Amino acid sequence: MVARLGGTVVADLLMAFWARNIADLVPDPGSDSGSDYSRCVDWLAASCELDAAAYRRILADWTTRHARRRNLWRDIDTRKLPRDTR
């Protein structure tokens, strides 16, 4: 029934949308007050899965702009996300 209603097409369209726009949806750690970066890291992890190039660009930007946010890097390491920006 789902296939008959075009459900598989919708799923493909949704995945294409997420892959195309994930970089714009990752929140900037600089906008969070306090030291809880879990929301930012959750979105960063999603970008790693959907668009590896966007993930590397975001991580490279964060490496320079947010280098002193120890808790951000701790959260990234806890999620076992790659730190290589190449």
Predicted confidence (pLDDT) at residue 49 exceeds the cutoff of 80: yes
Confirm whether 1 is domain-assigned.
no
Structural domain of 70: 7-78
Residue 30 lies in a domain: yes
pTM: 0.86
Between 7 and 51, name the one with better pLDDT.
51
What local confidence, expressed as pLDDT, does residue 40 receive?
Answer: 96
| Residue 37 clears pLDDT 80, i.e. is over it | yes
Cα separation of the two ends of the chain: 44
Q: Total domain count for the chain?
A: 1
**CA 47 – CA 3 distance, rounded (Å):** 28
In-domain check, residue 86: no
Residue-level pLDDT at 3: 67
